[in-house]
Amino acid sequence: MTSSLDGLLGFPVTPFRKTGELDLPRFETHLAEMLEAKPAALFVACGTGEFASLTLTEHRELLRVAVANVDGAVPVLAGAGGGTQVALEFTRSAEKAGADGVLVLPPYLQVGPPEGLVEHYRQIAAATGLGVIAYQRATAVFTPESVCELAEIDGVVGLKDGHGDVELLQRIHTVTGGRLLMLNGMPTAETFAKAFRAIGVRAYSSATLSFAPAIARAFHDAFERGDDDMQQALLREFYVPLTQLRHTTNGYAVALVKAGLDIQGRSAGPVRPPLRDVSPEHRAELARIIERGHAVLDAGPAK
């Protein structure tokens, strides 16, 4: 599974009906749309998939549908999170549903020292046969020494970073000697792609793949072939403006993705509270950003 996580990583949204329940037929269509962009893997019910608002039953249903529809085309990894006992429940459920691995989100509101985080992941890894990816972000920031301990735990296979401290990542990469797979998990990860590549982290999660897959694929292809002109054009016209818009409102890392789908006639429904749907003025701005991104693709390589 880890050998497949070397490329563009997709994070589907979780579609909801206006009445609030899961929209599983729309989820099936959404997965098919994402697979057309040839991601290296799909991470279901994670941050972009609104894990924090899902019940265990809903989480299990999403994984069941994802595993059946993807049908082995790419690995399907599941989100898990919360305190250790809750994370264990979601991890065991994901394993029963047929997931290939689990991304364990930080235990929000429970801030412990690095040794507590290591024990959190140790217990989760011991309870499953799935590969476990730790997630460094917010309330779960590791020291290089604690990541060395993680690397010694059977079943812990990777570290996804959404913290963005490049110096810390370099220290982690140096002391672990490449024993853990490292993933760029920053919000709007494309804006960090070059910086992370400089310390040996090439694979990244792309929220853009969920709502503008052609743009996400074009950027990643340019990144892989070293086409700086195309990367800079997409950063200038799409990714940096998108990042600036995301910073205006808490929760827009998810809400903008769903708004982007709706703008293009592929609605996945509303976000769940405490997130809020995108305001009309920001929705109009997002539409312009998407249009500019596609215009870069239409223009093709710089002459």
Active site residues: 135, 160
Give rounded-to-5 percent helix, strand, coil for the chain: 50, 15, 35
| Cβ atoms of 37 and 1 closer than 8 Å | no
| Tokens at 32, concatenated | 């098919």
Residues shown for the chain: 303
| 189 closest CA partner among 204, 199, 209 | 204
CB 9 within 8 Å of CB 184: no
C-beta separation of 193 from 184 below 8 A: yes
Distance (Å, rounded) from C-alpha 247 to C-alpha 244? Answer: 5
CA angle 225, 160, 47 (to 5 degrees): 105
- The DSSP call for residue 25 is H
Nearest to 180 by CA among 169, 164, 193: 169
Tokens 């990367």, residue located: 231
Beta strands in the chain (DSSP E): 8-10, 41-44, 76-80, 101-104, 131-136, 156-161, 181-184, 204-206
CA distance from start to end of the chain: 40
Euclidean distance between CA atoms 165 and 168, whole angstroms: 5
